């Protein structure tokens, strides 16, 4: 029990952020028209690719003079994460392209 | 991130991360309206680029070393290969194949976070084992689950339902929980902890597969969303 309390105390700021971010996520995502659910899911998936930053940090400080597990894993992470990021945003953009054609005039006014 | 001394470099780095987070939230908010959705996607992409550049230029490790120029080049090469691959696939794929695509990207994101967590685990300075272990589990479940979802959407994997599935999944979940608890026992040596982390890695992959297996094709978007 004391360990759990200690854990909560040590990470109190992180827990704050986590909880508030949870509410923020619900707030932002709710009231979305159902036609937009798919692009939104895809966009959120692309944002998850931010793990690429972790990969960059990992690979950035890896020793490149010889092959190590860190190096190989770092390369894999950066590769997969960049596929995730680029693919995610491009796919989302393509989905939204279709809306644009359908929406027509009303859309052209607002986007530029 | 632990307490670290103030430097202008660190301040700029953290402000960049904060800006990125704000851009992501604005992006998601804009994505929720049809008229602004496309702009929202661009905002989020901009935030991503900012985070990547800031990390490359400004990040320092625990010893205060910045990222070596050689490593920066290596990172840029690999990231551009990945970017081109992701971009080309995303452009070429048919519009009707979109759900599969998203599922596939989800898998790549999952394996990336799983691998980051796995390497962090071997770092003795790692502040929180629990978060790392959860990272391994969630990342790998997302990876294998998304791949199975992908296979089902393409039609290569058929549903495999059995009444025993419920119990098998429950068992897998318990197994994951058990491994995490064991690695926290004081009697577990770092060496054994290492092996347990790899074990968890494998268990999480299997769990992801089993979890998605019995679910029908129509429910797939929900599953992808959840794994996200």
Q: Give residue-wise pLDDT tens across range B56-113.
A: 888 877 666 777 777 888 888 888 888 888 888 888 777 666 666 777 777 777 777 7
Of A61, A97, A107, which is closest to B67 when you measure between CB atoms? A61
Q: How far is B163 from chain A (nearest CA, A)?
A: 31
pLDDT at B46 over 70: yes
CA distance B43 to A95: 16
Q: B31 and A40 in contact by Cβ < 8 A? A: yes
Contact map slice: B 75-94 vs A, CB within 8 A: 75, 78-87, 89-91, 93
Q: A78 and B113 in contact by Cβ < 8 A? A: no
Stretch B178-189: mean pLDDT: 64
Q: A53 and B25 in contact by Cβ < 8 A? A: no
Q: Interior CA angle at B107 toward B106 and B113, to 5°?
A: 90
Q: What is the pTM of this model?
A: 0.70
Q: Which positions in chain A touch B93 (Cβ < 8 Å)?
A: 91
Q: Mean of the per-residue pLDDT values for chain B?
A: 72
Short-list B88, B85, B89, B117, CA closest to B101: B89
CA distance A9 to B143: 32
Of B197 and B32, the one with more pLDDT? B32
CA distance B63 to B37: 43
Instruction: Give, for all 112 residues of chain A, the pLDDT tens digit.
Output: 787 788 788 778 878 887 887 788 777 777 777 777 777 777 777 777 777 887 788 787 777 777 777 788 788 888 888 888 888 888 888 888 777 666 554 544 444 4
Q: Which positions in chain B touch A82 (Cβ < 8 Å)?
A: 78-83, 86
Structure tokens at A76: 């894999």
Please report which confidence band the pLDDT of residue B166 belongs to, taking 50, 70 and 90 as the band edges. low
Q: Which positions in chain A touch B53 (Cβ < 8 Å)?
A: none
Q: How far is CA B154 from CA A39, A41, B109, B150, B173, in A?
A: 19, 19, 20, 6, 28
């Amino acid at each position: 029990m004391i360990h759990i309390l200690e854990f909560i105390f040590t990470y109190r700021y992180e827990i704050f952020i986590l909880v508030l971010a949870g509410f923020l996520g619900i707030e932002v995502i709710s009231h979305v028209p159902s036609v937009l659910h798919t692009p939104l899911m895809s966009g959120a998936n692309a944002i998850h690719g931010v793990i690429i930053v972790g990969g960059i940090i990992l690979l950035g400080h890896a020793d490149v003079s010889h092959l190590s597990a860190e190096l190989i894993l770092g390369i894999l992470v950066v590769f997969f994460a960049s596929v995730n990021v680029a693919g995610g945003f491009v796919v989302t953009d393509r989905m939204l392209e279709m809306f644009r054609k359908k929406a027509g005039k009303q859309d052209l006014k607002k986007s530029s | 991130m632990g307490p670290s001394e103030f430097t202008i470099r660190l301040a700029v780095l953290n402000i960049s991360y904060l800006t990125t987070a704000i851009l992501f939230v604005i992006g998601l908010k804009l994505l929720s309206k049809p008229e602004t959705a496309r702009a929202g996607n661009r905002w989020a992409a901009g935030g991503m680029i900012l985070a990547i550049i800031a990390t490359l230029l400004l990040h320092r490790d625990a010893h205060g070393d910045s990222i070596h120029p050689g490593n920066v080049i290596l990172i840029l090469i690999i990231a551009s290969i990945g970017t081109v691959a992701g971009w080309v696939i995303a452009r070429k794929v048919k519009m009707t194949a979109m759900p599969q695509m998203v599922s596939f990207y989800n898998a790549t994101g999952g394996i990336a976070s799983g691998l980051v967590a796995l390497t962090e685990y071997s770092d003795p300075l790692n502040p929180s084992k629990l978060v790392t272990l959860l990272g391994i589990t969630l990342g790998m479940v997302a990876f294998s689950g998304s791949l199975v979802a992908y296979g089902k959407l393409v039609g290569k994997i058929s549903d495999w339902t059995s009444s025993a599935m419920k119990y098998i999944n429950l068992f897998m979940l318990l197994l994951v929980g058990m491994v995490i608890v064991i690695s926290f026992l004081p009697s577990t040596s770092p060496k054994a902890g290492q092996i347990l982390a790899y074990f968890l890695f494998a268990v999480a992959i299997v769990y992801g597969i089993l979890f998605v297996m019995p679910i029908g094709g129509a429910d797939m978007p929900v599953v992808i969303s959840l794994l996200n």
